[in-house]
Structures are given as structure tokens and as C-alpha cells.
Amino acid sequence: MQLSREQMLGAYRQMKVIREFEERLHVEIQKGEIAGFTHLYSGQEAVAVGVCEQLTDGDYIISTHRGHGHCIAKGCDVKGMMREIYGSAEGLCKGKGGSMHIADVDKGMLGANGIVGAGAPIAVGAAISAKLDGQGRVSVAFSGDGACNQGTTFEAMNLAVVVKAPCIFLFENNHYSEHTGVDYAVATSGDIASRAEAFGMKVWRGNGSDFFAVTEVMREVLEYVRAGNGPAAVELDTERFFGHFEGDPQRYRGPGELDRIRAERDCLEAFRTRVTEAKLLEGADLDQVDAEVMQMIEASVAEARSAPRPTAADVLTDVYISY
Amino acid sequence: MQLSREQMLGAYRQMKVIREFEERLHVEIQKGEIAGFTHLYSGQEAVAVGVCEQLTDGDYIISTHRGHGHCIAKGCDVKGMMREIYGSAEGLCKGKGGSMHIADVDKGMLGANGIVGAGAPIAVGAAISAKLDGQGRVSVAFSGDGACNQGTTFEAMNLAVVVKAPCIFLFENNHYSEHTGVDYAVATSGDIASRAEAFGMKVWRGNGSDFFAVTEVMREVLEYVRAGNGPAAVELDTERFFGHFEGDPQRYRGPGELDRIRAERDCLEAFRTRVTEAKLLEGADLDQVDAEVMQMIEASVAEARSAPRPTAADVLTDVYISY
Amino acid sequence: MAKMQLREAINLTLHQEMERDPSVIVLGEDIVGGMGTAGGPEAIGGIWKTTAGLYEKFGAGRVIDTPISESAIIGAAAGAALAGKRPVAELMFADFVGVCLDQIWNQMAKFRYMFGGKSRCPAVIRIAYGAGRNAGPQHSQSVYGLMTAIPGLKVVIPSSPAEAKGLLTQAIRDDDPVLFFEPKALYATRGDVPEEEYVIPFGHARLVREGSDVTIVTCGQLVGTAATAADRLAQQGIGCDVIDLRTTSPLDEEAILDSVETTGRLVVLDENPPRCGLAADIAAMVGEKAFAALRAPVSMVTPPHTPVPFAVELERAYLPDAERVEAAVTQLLGYRGSAPR
Amino acid sequence: MAKMQLREAINLTLHQEMERDPSVIVLGEDIVGGMGTAGGPEAIGGIWKTTAGLYEKFGAGRVIDTPISESAIIGAAAGAALAGKRPVAELMFADFVGVCLDQIWNQMAKFRYMFGGKSRCPAVIRIAYGAGRNAGPQHSQSVYGLMTAIPGLKVVIPSSPAEAKGLLTQAIRDDDPVLFFEPKALYATRGDVPEEEYVIPFGHARLVREGSDVTIVTCGQLVGTAATAADRLAQQGIGCDVIDLRTTSPLDEEAILDSVETTGRLVVLDENPPRCGLAADIAAMVGEKAFAALRAPVSMVTPPHTPVPFAVELERAYLPDAERVEAAVTQLLGYRGSAPR
Ligand SMILES: Cc1ncc(C[n+]2csc(CCOP(=O)(O)OP(=O)(O)O)c2C)c(N)n1
Ligand SMILES: Cc1ncc(C[n+]2csc(CCOP(=O)(O)OP(=O)(O)O)c2C)c(N)n1
Ligand SMILES: [Mg+2]
Ligand SMILES: [Mg+2]
């Protein structure tokens, strides 16, 4: 798939925004600035961006507890997200949802989700709706390698095939669910795609640390699904650079593992090498994006810190009734 | 597998008991003698008996809403069952459970179950227990072709493989879940075993209308599972001779379908033909069993009709507390 | 006006709303029936026959027969609703809330609040509920109490064919998730039903009988029980207000409190087990907000705290009947506080 | 006696009971941690660290790390219990009851009754519950109210390390299914705990503070809130009985009623949303059984009927605090019935 210069710069920017958003959160959380449980997406950026760059606002995605990357890639307002994670009254969800519940339905982003496996059926519903509308729109259910063991995920795949819903089950295999290895928890020695295949779906596999590989896979998948062939599944191999949640001691990692994946499987580095070596973009182009992104993240943190806080009265809004 | 004369007569008797139990219930229900929803097992006898004849009281089974056959095959008291279905205070469950909840834990029968798909995880638990005991005992989860779409069934299969539980997922494919055809609801055009295989299990397929075929398959399966190889799955093709529940108009059947399956796929007839043609048993031997069974069913109905009824006070027993 | 069964009133409503609004879709197990069979799609419309004829009329895109997988069904309804449709999902028995609670409780019910008010989830879940058909412990539960406990859900329980039609119409047009509990023992009950479209707004209880001695609050299939009790009591000169809640959330507190201010005595008749159920909920609310008006303790008439038993005699003893309501009313009228308050 | 955290008290109990009885097994997600990883099985014992060290001591046959599939976990516990084991399953957050309710509600809870008393299901489900950690709408719920509504379950909520140990020991030895709610905000709270084995029987509430003016009934993490309020009120000369229920089912009605007979005033402090919750349950019970003793309406102090919001300020406003309890007590003492009863 031939990407224009603009498309490449745009994709890189999105990946960089996600990376810096997360790296910065990691720092702020350690400083005690942010409450609650936060799951960072650093390392997996090529998946979210490789998928979402080919979607429009009319397509749907549903995300997981590790949702920041998907939200950003699907076009949620980054500052609004940062305010949300800080719990501001002007956060994207008014501070009511927090990190695990960022949504923007107008952008087709049907929500991060704190319940592992809950997203897939919801994505099928959005796909059913899209199919009825008949405009070739699709719905993508992001799931982890852990989520693929939840009954809801299987039910959703079966239902999608039965009703030929334009739904894409996008499995991000980052090798861990919390502290547990995928080879243990996914009974087929960690092979997710074959299980999806057994539901009668066409499946794709790919390197989730390579933006161009994801892009190519998704081009095929989207062509297939938009054409009305029913659902499809994709398994992408990727890495998470931080712990399961912030505070995770990560004793389950092998020696040097974190250094190795940062060195060998960094999708931003891979992108830079690829495009500069192929002379598609200059290093300076990317440096400029980097600088702009850093500034934007800095600004969004500064702004989130001083954004209006919710008051007790806000607890009682957004309900249909108060008791 | 060479069966002794006694084993053959015993198996035939069990199948016949199930058949006549169900055929008689069909009549009694139409007369309005029996309350509630009843799902009859007629036609599938070779499965229940082919499986359970090779189990001991120390092995576990869990059943479904269509449980009478499994209960009888696993050794539940037939008269107690009839009393239960009639709602007697002296029924196997004191009239509290009824048709869908017959259980006898001492016989390893962990219950018929009104929730489709609920049995499989419970069977895995019993298998985990059996494994810990280390005596080669197994647990069998009977499921229908409809139940195989329920998330719990998938979760149970995955868990069983992960913990190498001696659990057998026994799928009775009778081609229908309620009014719906298996080709529609099981997205893989009705192929259940392949889905089980995708969880990393060894699977077997067989003709569930042929007692000897079931016996042979189960001999292999049990050898495999008792030897500590972990779980296995079996898909048996079978037929239900009545509607989903009593009262079902069965408009989903093709023309002449009921006559055809009664004529061509009657496991009792097949058994009779096979053993008499091979001169393993005489027709007269079987006739005698038939006569004894008819008498026993007659007696059990007569007894159930006049068995003691529960009183209002019985509502409040078998609880740990009354409010 | 036409005489029709409760199931027919529901069926008519579905037809009318699907006709009116192309965004209304229905989904559930066997709601068509016969899919993938030699007999072909059936006009029978599910085991309750409430969806009969919809598939023929509106086609497979809007009338979706699903595999047995309630979490996927309810989740799909949630997703379709977020995406702008008005899905009406059928849950065959209320007891099956157990296999899909997450999608109801943690998903649908919370979207609006946890997304900061920026989403709508206009999904309806139609649920056949209740005891009285000897369906045993896993097919006879009421469950509307558990659902009333969940913030973000609207909980509706019609008591007659005409009520079912107006309330279901409102449910489908409502922008919040609605759990619509259909008393399955009343599916074949007939009543007069206006054939034209109409809505019954939520949160407005209905006064079924009037009387100034005792207030009886109830809903669903027990409305008939309460009315019978009230009629018999009326013959003894005892007058009862019988209030059909229609919706347990939103709750028409005013209707209850107004009546109790007059009568000073309240019986709550509920089909849930007693602990943390609707009877306790209403008793507590009245005990708090009409304390001074109460001339006797609130009487809660409910089943015992057990599963629903199978046998005819057991289920009859389990489900509260008119006699128990009458006894409760009589007892309240005989109450003489033993100590000064 | 040793000072230990609540999580350590639970861990110690699990060690002791597994040592004592070989039929005790534990299962859940990440309760070992590190399975199938380069790092290998971890002694960390799950995200709450309550199961630390069990795998090393008792091995993979009795300490079973499971995939993310709560229905399978709870179902497996049910099955193992029917088969004679005493499984202790961990549900990481109470909110996840949504994905496995059927196995709790329609299976475990009903076996004994629907099998005619001929089976036992001695399973324990340990559940981390509660707000106060800014975990947001899907990771902060209390849920013990919904579970109390279910016949057949025992529902236990410890309020301190020592309570947790005695109650968990009883839960494991109990022959009925027990839902054991651990207040996750108190996991790191320290207290004196007897190191030897002991049981606290179910259905016996604990009097945490004594006073004759007002009764405060509560459980779990709110016991501390109630005690704080009582202590502050005591300084103003107002005496409160603070009752820690310990188990909401079975419920120690006697302890509550005895206290209310003396005080005539009741505050129920509960972490569930108000509708059909535990506060209403107890208010209704007292309104019925101690009607004549009540000198003021029962006051229910609960969160509002909303999901648990994320932001610090919102969650603080959501969860009842000592100030709200004090205000409720003061208001009850100031109550003057407006009309004669
Ligand atoms: C139903 C449910 N069970 C358990 C959890 C706790 N939990 C949160 S994330 C997680 C691991 C998910 O692993 P995976 O799907 O691989 O996603 P990843 O964290 O790797 O992105 C678990 C067990 C949950 N949130 N919901
Ligand atoms: C969770 C749940 N959903 C739906 C039902 C209603 N129901 C009862 S039996 C049945 C069909 C089951 O089909 P299958 O598993 O093939 O078993 P069969 O009836 O053919 O024996 C359905 C949908 C139920 N009892 N439980
Ligand atoms: Mg993962
Ligand atoms: Mg079937």
C-alpha cells in the first residue's frame, strides 16, 4: 500500500502522540499526580494507528482497559483525554469515567472498557447497525491475548459469522495478560488466530510492531470486510513496554526483556529507520513532529493540571433520575 | 470392544428404559398429568448409554435441560425420577427441582441443568477434583449443539486444556437448538468438533444413533483421558424424536422428517438388528427386556401418581435460613 | 379497541414501532425460529410467539435470530444502540440475566454516566419473567428487583395487554436502556387494547382500585392478585388503594406517599425473594418519607427466601396469593401499637 | 497476636486452612502470577497479593491459576465443591460478578434446594469490593447487596484483619456457598490478629461502639466510618451503638432489633446504591419488627443512585463519610413527629 508523505507524517505523529502521552503518564503517575488504575499502551502504537488510520469517523472501534492508544488513534481529543485521566470536570467524560472509560461516540469510539472481553459483543452490535445502513462501514473490536479467553469474545465471533456482520476482531498479542504468559492462558500454546479461524472466519496474522505491516494487513482486511464478506480476525504480535498497570513489579519478565523489546521492537524506531533509509521522509521531518508532539503533551498536562475540578453536585448529573 | 452378553443386555435395557420413560411421559404430558416444561430424550439413548455404561459412580457427568436419559444412564433411580417429574415430595429432589434439575451426586450425576451452557464449567471443576485425587476418574459434560455457542462452553474448554483436567466435552448434535438448525447457529456450518479442536484438544466424531459406535469411540476417549492426557471432545450425530419441549409444533422439520428418523436412525432398532443378525443375542432376549421395562415404567408411573405430595411447609426446608 | 392477548399486544407494538421507525431492530434466540432448517424460517416468532411475523415483514437485516449466547445478544444490543439504532432484544427467561449481567449492568446501564452524558443507549431488553408455570428454580424468577437496584436502568413491568402496549411503545422510544419485564403467566391473558399507537409515560403509577383504609402497592402479574384481594375486602367494607407501579425505576414515590398519607397503612406485594427486594425498597422509602402517617408497620408480602420450587403445591405456596394479601390487610387494620411512639 | 495487614490475614488463613484440610483448593486469575512466562511462577500471589506463597507451598494441583474466564472459574469452583472439595475462588473485583452471575446465582446458590437437600456446595468466592481507590465505574462497586438478595448464598463482609481471618476460616469450613467480600481499600490496613486458628460464626453481629441514643448498622469498610462518627458524637455526649453486621446473610436481626428497642433510632450506613439495597432491607425489617420502638424514621445513608464516579472529588462525594453519618444521627435526634401516630 503506497502511503503519501502526508499520510506517513500523520501516522508517525499519531504514534508519537500515543507514545509520549503514555511515557508522560508513567512519570506523572509515579509522582502521584493521577488517581486510580492506569494501563499504558506504550509499545503497541503501530497497531492502534495502523488500524485506525484506515478508518473514518463512521467506522466504529471498541477498546479495552488499555485504551489510550486506541482513543487517540481514533481521533479523541488528546487534551480532553488528559483532562479526563486527571479527573477534571472538563475531561472527555467529565471526570466520571477516567482512564478506563474514555469514549467519543461521535468519532466512532465506543469506549475503553474495564471489563475484559466486554467489547467484542458491543462491536458486533455496531457492525450489525453498520451493515443495516449499507454504507460499507465496519466495526473493530480490539482485544488482548487475555481477553480472547473470555466467553463473550467467542460468543461475539460466532454471532458475527452467523449474521455476517462487518466486524473485525483485532487481537493484540502482547504476550501477557497481567502477569500471565499467553502460552499458558491461551490453551493453543498462545495461538489466537487459529481459534478465530475455527469460527469460520478468515484470519490474518502480522507483526504489530511494524506500522507498515499492520497497514498492509489492514488494507486487505478492510477490503474484505467492507465488501460484505462478513467478519474477519487479525492477530498482531506486539509488546507492551510498561507493566500491566502502573505499579506492576514485572517479575514475570525474563532478564533483559524490557531492554530487548525497547531496542528491537520499538515501532517508532522501526518506522524512522524504514522511512529514512528508503528516503521517504527525512529524519528532520520526524524530529519536527517529535518536537511538536512533546510540546503538545506538555501543554496538555499543564492544562489538565489546572483544569476545573468537579464538585459534589456533579455526581448527580448524567442520570435519568436521582434517588 | 468386545462386550459380554450381560453388558449387551444391560445396555439395551438402559436404552429401552430411557425410551419408554420418555415415550410414556409424552403421553402423560399430553393428558395434562405433568406440570412445567419437559424436554424428552427419545432418539438419543445410544449416546447416554454408550457413554455412561463405561463410567463408574466415581466418574462425574453433568447434564442439560434434556437430562432424563443421562440421569437414567448414570444410575439415578428411575422411580425416584418419575416421582420427581410428577412433583412428589418423595421425588429424587423432593419435587423441588422437577424435570430440569434431577441430580444424584452420590452416583456422580451432578445435575440436569436448565441454563444452557452452564454445565461445562461445572464439569471442569469436578474434573479438577478428580485429577487431584489421582485415581483416573473423569468428568463428562453433556452439551447440545446449541449449548456449544454459549461462552461458558468455550471458557470451560480452554480452562480444561490449560489445567489438563480429565474432562470430556460430549456434544450431542441433534441438529436443532429449539427451532433453529445447527447449520445456522454454529457458524462453522454446524461443525462442532473442529471448534473444540481449535482449543488444542483431541477430538472424536461418531454416529450417536449407533450404540456400538459410541461405545467404541468412548473406549478410546476414556483410555486417553484416564491416562492423564488432559481433556477431549466428542461430537456425536444423533436425533431427537420429539419436539424441543412438549407442545412444540415442530414446523421447522422437513416433510416426512420425523418418520424418516424414526425409521432410519432408531438406536434401539439398530441395536436389535445388529445383535440378532450377528447372533450375539436372540430376539427373544430383547423381547423379554422390553416386557420387563414396560412393566417397570408402568409401575413407576402408577407409583408416581399416588406418591405423597409436598405441602406448603416443604417450601421452607433445604435452606440454611428462613426469612 | 380490540380484545387481544398480552403476547399479541406486544407483537402489535413491535410491528407498529418497526413500521414507524426504521432504526428499530429486534434480536434474540429463536425470535424467528426455523432458521437453517428444512422447514425454513417460521412465522411462529419464538417460544412466546411475541415476535411472530416480524421476519416476514421486516427481513433478516432488522429481525435477527441469534445463536444461544445471551452476552453476545445483549452486548450487540448495546453496541447497536450506541451506533444509533433502537434495538429490542429478547431474553427468553428472566433467569438468563445471570449469563449476561455484565452487558446490562456494567455496560448499557453505565454508558451515559461514565461517558459524561455524551452517549445514548436506547436499547430495550424484553424479558419473560415470573412464577406460576411450574418451570422450576431456573425458569421462574422475577429479577426485576435485582435490576431496580442498578443505577442507569429503567425497569418496566406491565400488568395487562393495554399496559404492555403503551409501556413498550414508550420503552422503544426512550433514550435510556429499558428492561421490560413481561409476566409470562399472563401472555395468554386477554384485554381491550387500543389499536392505534399510544405511550404510557414512565414513573406514573396507576390506581387500579380505590379505597381509604389500606394501600396495596404492587406490579406485574401480582396486580391481578391485589385487585382480587381488594375486591373481596371491599365486600367486607374494607377499602384499598391498589397501586400498579408500572415502572419500578423511575418510581412514582408521590403516588405511593399520597395514598399512604390517607390510609396510614401499606402492604407491598412483590414477587421477589424478601431480602434486598422491591418490597423492602418501598417499605423503607415509605418508612422514611411517611413515617408520621404510618399507623401500623408496613407489611411485606413476598415469597419466602428460597428458589422457586417446581411442584404445583410448592409453587402455589411460594407465590403470594390473594388470601395472603387479605390477611395482611386485615392484620394491619387490627394493629394496635403496643408502645407509645 | 501479631500486627498484620488485612491482606496478610487472608493469606495466613489460606495457608492454615490448606495445611489443615487437603480438600481446600484455590483458583483464580493470576493468583500465582507469572505462569507461562520467562520469569516463571511468582510468589507475588495475584494483584492483591492475598494468595502469595500458596503455589510454592501447595503446588499446581491445589493452587490453580486460570485464564480470564470468570464463568469457568466460578463454575469450576461449583463443580469441585459438588465433587467434595472446598474450593476458594478469587474474583479480582466485585464488579466482575457481572460476567459470572449465573454460576453464582442459578448454580451454586440453588443446588442444595433444587436437588432436594441432597448435595453440598462448600465453595467460597473471595471478592475484592468497594469504592475509595478511584478505580472508576467498573472497578469500585460493592455488590454485596445484590448477593444478599439471592437465596442460598451466605454473604460475609469483614471489617478488619482479625475479623477477616476468623470469618474466612468459617467460610472455608462452611458447607454452603459463601461470598466473601474483602474491602479492597483496607487491604493494607493493619490490626492485631491471633496467629492460631479461630472461627467467627456467621449470623452474629459485632458491637463496635456502645451507646443508647442511636443505633448505627453497617458493615465492611464503612464500619470504620461509623466508628469515627460515633466517637465524634460521643464527644458531644451522644451515644451510638455501632453494629458491624459481619454477615448480611444470615442476618443478625436480633442484634439490630435489640439495639433499636433501646435507642428507638436507626441509621443504616451502606455502600450500595439506595434502590433495593442493604440499607432499605434493614430499614424495612426494622420498620416491620420494631415499629413501635421507632421514635424517628430510619435514616439510610448510602451513595446516590449512580455508578461510582472516577475523579477524586466525585468519589469522595459519592461514598458516605463520617460527616454524613453524624448529620443523620443529629437529624434523628432532632426529629419531632409532625403528626400523632
Ligand atoms: C472480566 C474481567 N476479568 C478480569 C479483569 C482484570 N484484568 C484487567 S486487564 C487484565 C489482563 C488483560 O490481558 P489482555 O487481554 O492480554 O490485555 P493487555 O492487558 O495485555 O492489554 C485482567 C485480568 C477485568 N478487568 N475484567
Ligand atoms: C442460557 C439459556 N439460554 C436459553 C435457554 C432456552 N433454551 C433451552 S434449551 C435451548 C436449546 C438448546 O439446544 P441444544 O443445546 O442443541 O440442546 P437440545 O435441546 O437439542 O438437547 C434453549 C435455547 C436456556 N435454557 N438457557
Ligand atoms: Mg495481553
Ligand atoms: Mg440440539
Query: Is residue A66 within 6 Å of ligand 1 at its C-beta?
Result: yes
| Chain A residues in contact with C83 (beta carbon < 8 A) | 60, 110, 125-126, 129-130, 139
**Contact yes or no for C311 and B323 at CB 8 A:** no
pLDDT over 90 at A323, yes or no: no
Rounded to whole angstroms, the maximal C-alpha distance in chain B is: 64
CB of A180 within 8 Å of a chain C CB? The answer is no
pLDDT at B189: 83
Domains of chain C: 2-193 (3.40.50.970), 206-335 (3.40.50.920)
The DSSP bridge pattern shows strands C240-244 and C206-209 to be: antiparallel
CB D211 within 8 A of CB D231: no
**With 50 as the cut, is the pLDDT of residue D341 above it?**
no
pLDDT given at position D339: 45
Residue A158 contacts B where some CB pair is shorter than 8 Å: yes
Q: Using a CB-CB distance cutoff of 8 angstroms, which residues of chain B are in contact with residue D78? A: 121-122, 125
Instruction: Write phi, then psi, for A177 (nearest 5 degrees).
Output: -115, 115
Instruction: Name every residue in D having a CB less than 8 A away from some CB of B.
Output: 25, 27, 61-62, 64, 66-67, 69, 71-85, 87, 102-103, 106-107, 111-119, 151-152, 154, 176, 203, 249-251
Distant-in-sequence, close-in-space partners of B260: CB < 8 Å, separation ≥ 6: none
Chosen for mutation from B180, B192, B320 (greatest number of chain C CBs closer than 10 Å) is B180
The average pLDDT across D303-312 equals: 98
Say how many Å lie between the CA of residue B147 and the centre of ligand 2: 6
Collect all residues of chain A within an 8 Å Cβ-Cβ radius of residue C67.
155, 158-159, 162
B278 and B62 in contact (C-beta within 8 Å)?
Answer: no
- pLDDT recorded at residue D338: 54
Instruction: Tell me the average pLDDT of chain A.
Output: 97
Q: What is the pLDDT of residues A75-128, one digit of tens each?
A: 999 999 999 999 999 999 999 999 999 999 999 999 999 999 999 999 999 999
Q: Is there a contact between B132 and D62 if contact means CB atoms under 8 Å apart?
A: yes
Per-residue confidence band for B322, with pLDDT thresholds at 50, 70 and 90: confident
Q: Which three cell numbers stand for residue D309?
A: 464516579
Percentage of residues of chain C with pLDDT beyond 90: 97
C176: pLDDT strictly greater than 70: yes
What would the pLDDT profile of B172-189 be if each residue is shown by its tens digit? 999 999 999 999 999 888
**B156 touches ligand 2 (CB under 6 Å):** no
Q: Going by DSSP bridges, is the β-strand pair C247-249/C266-269 parallel, antiparallel, or unpaired? A: unpaired
The x, y and z cell numbers of residue A76, run together, are: 479523541
Q: Which residue of C has its CA nearest to B151?
A: C69
Alpha carbon of A252 to ligand 3 centroid (Å): 13
* Ligand 1 centroid – CA D68 distance (Å): 7
Q: What's the number of CA atoms in the CB half-sphere (13 Å) around residue D326?
A: 16
Residues A96 and D310 sit within 8 Å (Cβ to Cβ): yes
Distance CA D196, CA D12 (A): 10
Taking the C-alpha atoms of residue A210 and residue B5, their distance in angstroms, rounded to an integer, is: 67
Asked, as a colleague might, if the bond just before D250 is cis with ω within 30 of 0, I would say: yes
The Cα B189–Cα B147 span in angstroms is 15
The predicted-structure confidence for D61-89, as pLDDT tens digits, reads as follows: 999 999 999 999 999 999 999 999 999 99
Centroid of ligand 3 to alpha carbon of A64 (angstroms): 11
Average pLDDT over residues C172-192: 98
Identify the band that residue C287 occupies on the pLDDT scale cut at 50, 70 and 90. very high
CA angle (D86 as vertex; D85, D87 as ends), nearest 5: 100
pLDDT at position B293 is 98
Q: Is the C-beta atom of A235 inside 6 A of ligand 1?
A: no
The answer on pLDDT for A185 being more than 60 is yes
User: Letter for the amino acid at D131?
Assistant: A
Query: Catalytic: C15?
Result: no
Cα A176 to Cα B197, D33, D36, D99, distances in angstroms: 23, 11, 9, 21
CA neighbours closer than 13 Å in the CB half-sphere of residue A198: 22
CA distance D146 to chain C (A): 6
B239 CB within 6 A, ligand 2: no
Q: And the C-alpha cell for B84?
A: 420427581
pLDDT band at C82 (very low <50, low <70, confident <90, very high): very high
Q: What number is the average pLDDT over the span D170-186?
A: 98
pLDDT at residue number C43: 83
Residue C242 CB partners (closer than 8 Å, separation 6+): C207, C208, C209, C216, C218, C223, C226, C227, C230
**String of DSSP letters for B227-291:** TT---EEEEEE---SS-SSTT---TTSPTTHHHHHHHH--HHHHHHHHHHHTTSS-HHHHHHHHH
Band of residue C339 on the pLDDT scale cut at 50, 70, 90 = very low
Does residue B44 surpass a pLDDT of 70? yes
Write b or e for each residue in B19-52: b if 16 or more Cβ atoms lie within 10 A of its Cβ, otherwise e.
Answer: bbbbebbbebbeeeebbbbbbbbbbbbbbbbbbb
- Measured by CA distance, the residue closest to atom 17 of ligand 2 is B144
* Distance separating alpha carbons of residues C275 and C300, to the nearest angstrom: 11
The full set of domains in chain A, from first to last, is 5-316 (3.40.50.970)
Q: Verify whether ligand 2 is closer than 6 Å to residue B38 (CB atom).
A: no
Question: How far apart, in whole angstroms, are the C-alpha atoms of residue B94 and residue A103?
Answer: 52
Please report the pLDDT score of residue A32 as a whole number. 94
Nine-digit cell at B119? 454445565
Mean pLDDT of chain B: 97
Q: How confident is the model at residue A189 (pLDDT cuts 50, 70, 90)?
A: confident
Residue with the nearest Cα to atom 7 of ligand 2?
B116
**Cβ(C104)–Cβ(C180) below 8 Å:** no
**pLDDT tens for each residue of A160-178:** 999 999 999 999 999 999 9
Residue C330 clears pLDDT 90, i.e. is over it: yes
H helix runs in A31-98, sequence order: 45-52, 68-73, 78-85
Rg (CA), chain A: 19
Nearest to B95 by CA among D153, C141, C142, C315: C315
What residue has cell string 449407533? B210
pLDDT value of position C340: 42
Question: Residue C338 — very low, low, confident or very high, per pLDDT cuts 50/70/90?
Answer: low
Q: What's the pLDDT tens digit per position in C7-31? A: 999 999 999 999 999 999 999 999 9
State the Cα–Cα distance between residues C3 and C6, nearest whole angstrom: 10
Residue nearest to ligand 1 atom 7, measured at CA: A116
Q: What strands, in cross-sheet order, belong to the sheet with C124-129?
A: C63-66, C24-29, C86-91, C124-129, C178-183, C154-156, C247-249
Q: What is the pLDDT of residues A192-237, one digit of tens each?
A: 999 999 999 999 999 999 999 999 999 999 999 999 999 999 999 9
The helix-helix angle for B45-52 and B267-277 (nearest 10°) equals 60
Contact (CB<8Å) B96/C314:
yes
**One-character DSSP codes across A220-242:** HHHHHHHTT---EEEEEE---SS
Q: What are the chain A neighbours of C25 within 8 Å (beta carbons)?
A: 128-129, 132
Residue D43: its pLDDT value, please? Answer: 83
- Mutual angle of helices D70-82 and B119-133, in 10-degree steps: 60
Confidence check: pLDDT of D197 > 50: yes
The amino acid that residue B220 corresponds to is E
C-alpha D270 chain-centroid distance: 11
8 A C-beta contact, residue A85 and residue A112: no
Residue B103, C-alpha cell as written in the block: 441430580
A241 within ligand 1 shell (Cβ under 6 A): no
The percent of residues in chain B predicted with pLDDT above 90, rounded, is: 97
